[in-house]
Amino acid sequence: MGLLSDPNRRKALINLLTRLNAPICGMCYIAGIVWFMGLAFEPFILRTYMSESAMGSTMVEERFSGGERALLTAKEFGVQKNKAGGMPVDWLVETMKARGLEVYTQTFSRKLPFPDENKERFMVKGTNVYGIFRAPRTPRTESLVLSAQCSEENDNNQAVGLLLVMAQYLRNQVYWAKDIIFLVNEHDQIGMHAWLEGYHNTNTTGMDYSPLQGRAGAIQAALSLELSSDVVTSLDIVFEGLNGQLPNLDFVNLFNAFCQKIGVLCTIQGKLQRNDWDSTSGYSHAVQTMMLMMLKQASGSSWGDHGLFLRYHVEAITIKGINSHRQYKTDATTVGRLLEGMFRKLNNLLERLHQSYFFYLLPSLSHMAPISYFMPAFGLIAVILLLRALDLWAQITAPPATQDGVADVEQSSTSVLSVLTPVVISHLTGVALYTLPVRFQEIAVEHFPVSETEAVVLTAIAVYTAGLALPHNTHRFVSGEGTEQGWKVLKLVAVLHLSVLLGCTALLNFSLGFILALTLVPVAAGVTPHAPKLPTAVILVVLSPACILLFSVFVFHELQETPLSFQDGWLLFLSVISQGILDHTLYGSLVFPLVALLVYPCWLLFWNILFWK
Amino acid sequence: MATPLSLLLIVAVTIRAALFRSTLAHLIAERVEVTSPLTAWKRVVEGLALLDLGVSPYAGDVFHETPLIIYIFHFLVDYAEVTFMLADVMVAVALYYAVRDYNKQVFRKQKFALEADRYPADCHELVRSPAEMHYVPLKVAMFYLLNPFTVLSCVAKSTCGLNNAVVSLFILSTVKGNVLLSAIFLALATYQSIYPLTLCAAALLYLMQRQFIPINACRLSFWWFVAQYAFMYLGSLFVMVGLSFFLLGSWDFLPAVYGFILSVPDLTPNIGLFWYFFAEMFEHFRLFFLCVFQINVFIYTVPLSIKLKEHPVFLIFMQLAIMAIFKSYPTVGDVSLYMAFLPVWSHLSRFLRNVSLVSFVLLTCSALFPVLWHLWIYAGSANANFYYATTLIFNLAQILLMCDYFYAFLRREHHLVHGLYPKRKDGSEATLVLK
């Protein structure tokens, strides 16, 4: 309590912090980045290990041998699909019934707010088919899900084939203590979303679906399969879910453990494991893998069908077969064995996966940085905002406190009210950015030669840019215009707003929080009305949320080793915006509202400060 | 003065009415920070349903409000929204008039002191002017009505709003010097949630001061007044409990309401300190710590009453804060009641040390509550420790706020006696340090 009550010591500390504010802030920022880069360096972080004792070893004898049959079934499925011109519902129902499952279907329909140009859909109608294999050994209160999507092209037939053959094979075993649901969903995530909403009897996004006729127990874990070739060279694990949620690390470990056991090459973010962490290229490989994961997580969208399960507290991953030019190939039988082994282990679970970490960064499948390792990196950067706030507070309450710590608050009380105007106007702009794009698409299409999707994206960009014109207008309403005190109070409010916002974001979705902190904190800390206008304005715009998104698109493709030309990058940027809005309305992803309603208005406050007159 | 108040009331009611109509109302009513097992509207509805079926509303361990509440809502259930808005308006108006009256007295006392030349010469900065005191009652009403905590609590139809109304009526009648009404409302508040019992001391001190009865345990008049007040208080409490018994025809409500408050069987998370602690505890320590925690709420009455016997209204504020922090099922509605008093002490601002820090921490915690709740309950990735850590920080900040006001108040009183710029023995300027 001495620090809080003794005015002398308190004053000394505040003096120190205000005098050395800039160097301390700079050091914190650099330390944050260095810490972050250290997270990809293997000696600094933890090895992954299986925490769940029920899944402790990989002692399972896999006997699956139906690979050939799976490929045949896949071919037949392909034929039936072409015949039906979509999902061959009747054939699937028949086939599943013939394999002894309880089969149900669910129909759903959804009208998108505007056409999705990437996947070319607007009015979506479809059917999910799922078969339940009831556990012979227990009272059927828990279940596992194996799913494969029925896509438009013939690129997931092998997965459906394998799923059907697995169903037949698993049914003949006696070990099962959990129901297993075999699900074939249409229209990828929309179908999965409809099925999950139906299963849990919720409706969060206003989707039309028929209620499910049959249910198994509470879903403990789900695995979704994507195979598009008869043989694969490696299996890729995808685990980033909706809103940056991650499955329990034990599930990822389980996949890794079985890949090691069976001898299948496994990749993460499409990158193979390397053992040369001490070489520069090995380290940069780890950094790239980690940054890819962070960019995917920060996007807040679900990177496979599994992503939607996570919202219902169901651990889930997607396994993707990759067929490259490598010599060594793995056939469908081996993939089937892998699945068998994983399901046998999941079957042993006594409670939901909860032992291991939920917050982690993976620079490789064998190493991970848990929350206690990566939060300091964020903390070091976020503390800059608090230091700046302290500095500003000390300046605002100047003339410096008399020696017994008496503060003079009277001056600030008037300017707090005058600061309210920019805050309110900025947030109203945010509300406009959130609501207008979808609302105004019809008007925009009538008056301009653009498609609906373009109209939405361009309206969003227009509102965004229009927000930049605000400072010239808001100043007329501000009563205490032009005072030194005024902008300092505004900046204090903005800095505290940003720090709370970033803190909450980093808890929900660390990657998003960290990327925003990395880019917004320097401008937030540095901006003053006395800075040279033009260069500062350029820096502010370059580090604004929209430009961060643009850079992220480029960086993402650079890391994936598929560099983009500027033209392509720009087009991709536009489609990412539309995808973000779609993700929000279709699945309830929170990144678009977060950016539109909170981050962007907060950034506008700093823009306001720069043009304070 | 009435125009700004009525304007404020209109704004407040509009906000609430708009929120009642929006989809948010349902979401807010589910928040554990806003409703506790005692005050949740859902449980009141359940109790009503049971009552209509002819079953005791306390059967089934869901409903824990007093019989009075259930009989009120038996008639008013269709007008629940209006009732809760009215309760908020009532609190605001009652506090408005109470604070206006109190300020008048403070001013009068100050005038006498000035005329008698009792203040040291350098203390004229500390003397309060009518100009700065003029808007204080309005600010109090505003702090209560526009506080997001109150708005949330009202929109969630938390019965905490009604308890606040009773407490504020008690404060009003005490400040107005009406002994009977004060005792009756205090009994009603106690009947509703036990803890306001601690306000008894403050009420006695205030009323005695007002009637110029010396606060001295050796005097007969002192004990006579205490006996009078105790008789009125206990009498009305007895009538209320008896009435409840006759309404319900059973004593079911005693264990279901008071037993529930005191023995804390429901460990649903809330913004208080009980749930985590008792969820973690070994069963055989439970009774001991239950006693410790419950006594903790009441024990501060004694030292605070002794220290603040000249300033009973500040004592009421302190007691309200202590209750909001340490009671077994606190909600943000309780917090908003004592926060409404902050403008009354705006003259202490020059002595406050940590208000900026505390308000930032309170805001951050309010933002973190829903985030960590989501991570714990929905995403399943965080756990109870994360949420409880926020609760702890929230309560620490409240305690710090309370201590800060207490310190500032005492310090001002000290300066009013010893001068604003004390000198050391050697003649240099001294600083006051709290250690």
- Cβ separation of B375 and A6 shorter than 8 Å? no
**What is the chain A residue with the closest CA to B386?**
A507
pLDDT tens per residue across span A557-571: 988 888 888 888 888
Chain A contacts to B (CB-CB under 8 A): 1-2, 4-8, 10, 245-246, 310-311, 313, 352, 354, 358-359, 389, 393, 403-409, 496, 500, 503-504, 507-508
Lowest mean pLDDT among A194-203, B54-63, B117-126, B171-180: B117-126
- A6, A407, A500 member nearest B364 (Cβ): A500
Report the pLDDT averaged over residues B45-62: 88
- Cβ separation of B380 and A313 shorter than 8 Å? yes
* pLDDT at A401 (0 to 100): 43
pLDDT tens per residue across span B158-186: 999 999 999 999 999 999 989 999 999 99
pLDDT tens per residue across span B279-289: 988 889 999 99
pLDDT tens per residue across span B290-309: 999 999 999 999 999 999 98
Instruction: For strands A271-272 and A265-268, give the pairing.
Output: antiparallel
**What is the chain B residue with the closest CA to A405?**
B353
Name which of B182, B158, B137 is nearest B343 in CA terms: B137
pLDDT band at B202 (very low <50, low <70, confident <90, very high): very high
- A2, A311, A500 member nearest B367 (Cβ): A500
* pLDDT at A531 (0 to 100): 82
> Mean of the per-residue pLDDT values for chain A?
85
pLDDT tens per residue across span A270-320: 888 887 878 888 889 999 999 999 999 999 888 888 989 988 889 999 999
* Residue A532, phi then psi, degrees to nearest 5: -55, 125
Report the pLDDT averaged over residues B256-272: 90
Q: Name A130's bridge partners.
A: A104, A183
Give the span between the Cα atoms of B297 and B309, in whole angstroms.
19
**Which chain B residues are within 8 Å of A313, Cβ to Cβ?**
378-380
Report the pLDDT averaged over residues B260-270: 90
Quick one: what percent of chain B has pLDDT higher than 90? 53
Which among B359, B364, B381, B414 is the top mutation candidate for probing chain A, defined by the most A β-carbons within 10 Å of its own β-carbon? B381
> Mean of the per-residue pLDDT values for chain B?
89
How far is the alpha carbon of B377 from chain A, nearest alpha carbon, in Å?
9
Q: Which helix (H) or strand (E) holds B231?
A: helix B220-248
- Cβ separation of B372 and A7 shorter than 8 Å? no
How far is the alpha carbon of B70 from chain A, nearest alpha carbon, in Å?
32
Handedness of CA B335, B341, B342, B343 (dihedral sign): positive
Between these two residues, A57 and B190, which has the higher pLDDT value?
B190
* pLDDT at B22 (0 to 100): 87
**What is the chain B residue with the closest CA to A242?**
B379
pLDDT tens per residue across span A436-477: 888 887 787 788 887 888 888 888 888 888 888 876 556 555
Counting every residue written for chain B, the total comes to 435
pLDDT band at B347 (very low <50, low <70, confident <90, very high): confident
Counting every residue written for chain A, the total comes to 613
- B350, B360, B367 member nearest A407 (Cβ): B350
**Which chain A residues are within 8 Å of B358, Cβ to Cβ?**
none
How far is the alpha carbon of B35 from chain A, nearest alpha carbon, in Å?
23
* ipTM of the complex as predicted: 0.85
* pLDDT at A404 (0 to 100): 44
**Which chain B residues are within 8 Å of A352, Cβ to Cβ?**
380
Which among A5, A297, A313, A411 is the top mutation candidate for probing chain B, defined by the most B β-carbons within 10 Å of its own β-carbon? A5
- Cβ separation of B353 and A358 shorter than 8 Å? no
**Type of residue numbered B204:** L
**Which chain A residues are within 8 Å of B365, Cβ to Cβ?**
none
- Cβ separation of A246 and B381 shorter than 8 Å? yes
> Concatenated DSSP letters for A312-345?
GT-EEEEEEEE--S-S--B-HHHHHHHHHHHHHH
- Cβ separation of A2 and B435 shorter than 8 Å? yes
Would the pLDDT of A408 be above 60?
A: no
- Cβ separation of A6 and B434 shorter than 8 Å? yes
pLDDT band at B243 (very low <50, low <70, confident <90, very high): very high
Lowest mean pLDDT among A399-413, B108-122, B413-427: A399-413
Q: List helix spans (H) across B300-383.
A: 301-307, 312-326, 332-339, 355-373
> Concatenated DSSP letters for A375-420?
HHHHHHHHHHHHHHHHHHHHHHT-S---TT-----HHHHHHHHHHH
pLDDT band at A4 (very low <50, low <70, confident <90, very high): low
pTM of the predicted protein model = 0.88
* pLDDT at A42 (0 to 100): 85
- B354, B368, B378 member nearest A504 (Cβ): B368
Would the pLDDT of B431 be above 80?
A: no
- Token representation of residue B425: 């023995």
- Cβ separation of A408 and B350 shorter than 8 Å? yes
Between these two residues, B168 and A203, which has the higher pLDDT value?
B168
Name which of A505, A458, A432, A477 is nearest A608 in CA terms: A477
Cα distances (Å, whole numbers) of residue A300 to A344, A583, B337, B338? 31, 9, 39, 40
- B352, B379, B432 member nearest A404 (Cβ): B432
pLDDT tens per residue across span B2-21: 788 899 999 999 999 999 99
Give the span between the Cα atoms of A385 and A382, in whole angstroms.
6
* Residue A560, phi then psi, degrees to nearest 5: -80, 5
Q: Are A429 and A535 a contacting pair, CB within 8 Å?
A: no
* pLDDT at A32 (0 to 100): 94
Between these two residues, A398 and A171, which has the higher pLDDT value?
A171
**What is the chain A residue with the closest CA to B362?**
A500
Quick one: what percent of chain A has pLDDT higher than 70? 93
Would the pLDDT of A106 be above 60?
A: yes
Would the pLDDT of A577 be above 80?
A: yes
**Which chain B residues are within 8 Å of A409, Cβ to Cβ?**
349-350
Chain B contacts to A (CB-CB under 8 A): 349-354, 356, 360, 363-364, 367-368, 371-372, 374-375, 378-382, 400, 407, 429, 431-435
Would the pLDDT of A380 be above 50?
A: yes
CA dihedral B197, B202, B206, B212 (to 10 degrees): 100
- Cβ separation of A7 and B349 shorter than 8 Å? no
Would the pLDDT of A481 be above 60?
A: no
Would the pLDDT of A2 be above 60?
A: no
Report the pLDDT averaged over residues B201-215: 88
Number of CB atoms found within 10 A of residue A528's CB: 12
Report the pLDDT averaged over residues B195-201: 92
pLDDT tens per residue across span B81-123: 999 999 999 999 999 999 999 999 999 988 888 888 878 777 7
- A6, A359, A406 member nearest B433 (Cβ): A6
pLDDT tens per residue across span A133-154: 888 777 788 899 999 988 777 6
- Cβ separation of B364 and A503 shorter than 8 Å? yes
How far is the alpha carbon of A202 from chain B, nearest alpha carbon, in Å?
14
Which among B23, B146, B354, B356 is the top mutation candidate for probing chain A, defined by the most A β-carbons within 10 Å of its own β-carbon? B356
CB pairs under 8 A between A and B: 70
- Cβ separation of B435 and A6 shorter than 8 Å? yes
**Which chain A residues are within 8 Å of B400, Cβ to Cβ?**
4
Q: List helix spans (H) across A397-509.
A: 410-439, 441-447, 452-468, 470-477, 484-508
- A8, A354, A508 member nearest B431 (Cβ): A8
Q: Are A487 and A471 a contacting pair, CB within 8 Å?
A: no
How far is the alpha carbon of A388 from chain B, nearest alpha carbon, in Å?
14
Lowest mean pLDDT among A107-116, A188-197, B116-125, B366-375: B116-125
- Token representation of residue B118: 């009792």
- Cβ separation of B367 and A504 shorter than 8 Å? yes
* pLDDT at A403 (0 to 100): 42
Q: Cα angle vertex A171, ends A165, A177, to 5°? A: 130
**Which chain B residues are within 8 Å of A358, Cβ to Cβ?**
379-382
* pLDDT at B216 (0 to 100): 79
- Cβ separation of A310 and B379 shorter than 8 Å? yes
Strand order in the sheet with A315-322: A208-209, A102-116, A121-133, A179-186, A142-150, A218-226, A315-322, A234-238, A265-268, A271-272
- Token representation of residue A353: 């996966």
Would the pLDDT of A399 be above 80?
A: no
* Residue A400, phi then psi, degrees to nearest 5: -45, 140
Quick one: what percent of chain A has pLDDT higher than 90? 24
**Which chain A residues are within 8 Å of B342, Cβ to Cβ?**
none
Which among A507, A510, A590, A598 is the top mutation candidate for probing chain B, defined by the most B β-carbons within 10 Å of its own β-carbon? A507
Number of CB atoms found within 10 A of residue A123's CB: 9
Give the span between the Cα atoms of B46 and B61, in whole angstroms.
10
* pLDDT at A406 (0 to 100): 42
Report the pLDDT averaged over residues A56-63: 77
* pLDDT at A147 (0 to 100): 92
